[in-house]
C-alpha cells in the first residue's frame, strides 16, 4: 500500500475565491453542544447534513483542534439545536473566536436533553440528540457522524437563522 502524496499548498487567492464562491450557498445554522465533565461546550455550525432516515443519521464538521471535537469521540452523546429566528445573538456568540472556554452558555437560555445531557437552546425551532458513530479527518476539519437518538420540533416556533454571503441573518 502506498502513502498518498500530500496535497499541494493552496494559495491565499484560491482560498479567498473558494470562500467567496461557497458564501453563495445559503446554509441553515445550528448549535452543536456536548456536556463533558460538568462543562458545556458548544459551537455554531452550518454543516449539519441529514445522512439517512433508516436509521436516522446526521453529520457535521468541526475544526480538528476545537475543544468540542475532543468531546465528541465515538460513543459520546451530543445535541443539535436547529435555530429559530430568535437565536441570532446566540449563534453569533457561539461562532465568536476566542470566546471563553468556561460558561459559554451562561447568557444563552437552554435546557438539558434527556438522553445526552447536552444543552438544547430555548430559541431552537427543533432539536436532535445524537450519539457519535464515527469520525473521519477531512483537511482542517473532522467529519462527525451521529445516530439520532431523539428529535423534536418546537410547537409554534418559526423562522430560521441562515448563513449567506459570509453573514448570519434571520428569516421569519
pLDDT at 3: 75
Give a yes or no: residue 149 inside a domain: yes
Mean pLDDT of 117-128: 98
Query: CA-CA distance, 53 to 141, in Å (whole number)?
Result: 25
Query: CA-CA distance, 102 to 42, in Å (whole number)?
Result: 10
Residue 30: name the closest of 83, 109, 72, 93 by CA: 83
State yes or no: pLDDT of 1 exceeds 80: no
pLDDT at 85: 95
Mean pLDDT of 128-155: 97
Residues in the chain: 172
Q: Which residue has the cell 445516530?
A: 147
Give a yes or no: residue 7 inside a domain: no
pLDDT at 39: 94
For the chain, helix (H) and strand (E) counts, in that order, are: 3, 12
Give a yes or no: residue 11 inside a domain: no
CATH code for position 123: 2.30.110.10
Structural domains counted in the chain? 1
Give a yes or no: residue 24 inside a domain: yes
Alpha-carbon radius of gyration of the chain: 16
Asked whether the beta carbons of 47 and 28 are under 8 A apart, the reply is: no
pLDDT at 5: 82
Instruction: Provide the pLDDT confidence category of residue 14 given band limits of 50, 70 and 90.
Output: very high
Query: What is the residue range of 91's domain?
Result: 16-166
Amino acid at each position: 500500500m502506498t502513502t498518498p502524496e500530500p496535497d499541494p499548498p493552496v494559495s491565499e487567492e484560491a482560498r479567498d475565491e473558494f470562500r467567496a464562491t461557497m458564501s453563495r450557498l445559503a446554509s441553515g445554522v445550528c448549535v452543536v453542544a456536548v456536556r463533558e465533565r460538568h462543562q458545556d461546550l458548544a459551537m455554531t455550525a452550518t454543516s449539519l447534513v441529514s445522512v439517512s432516515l433508516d436509521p436516522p443519521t446526521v453529520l457535521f464538521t468541526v475544526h480538528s483542534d476545537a475543544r468540542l471535537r475532543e468531546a465528541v469521540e465515538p460513543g459520546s452523546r451530543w445535541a443539535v439545536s436547529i435555530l429559530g429566528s430568535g437565536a441570532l445573538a446566540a449563534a453569533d456568540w457561539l461562532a465568536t473566536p476566542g470566546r471563553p472556554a468556561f460558561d459559554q452558555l451562561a447568557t444563552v437560555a437552554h435546557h438539558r436533553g434527556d438522553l445526552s445531557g447536552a444543552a438544547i437552546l430555548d430559541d431552537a425551532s427543533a432539536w436532535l440528540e445524537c450519539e457519535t458513530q464515527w469520525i473521519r479527518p477531512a483537511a482542517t476539519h473532522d467529519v462527525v457522524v451521529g445516530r439520532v437518538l431523539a428529535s423534536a420540533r418546537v410547537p409554534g416556533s418559526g423562522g430560521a437563522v441562515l448563513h449567506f454571503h459570509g453573514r448570519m441573518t434571520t428569516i421569519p
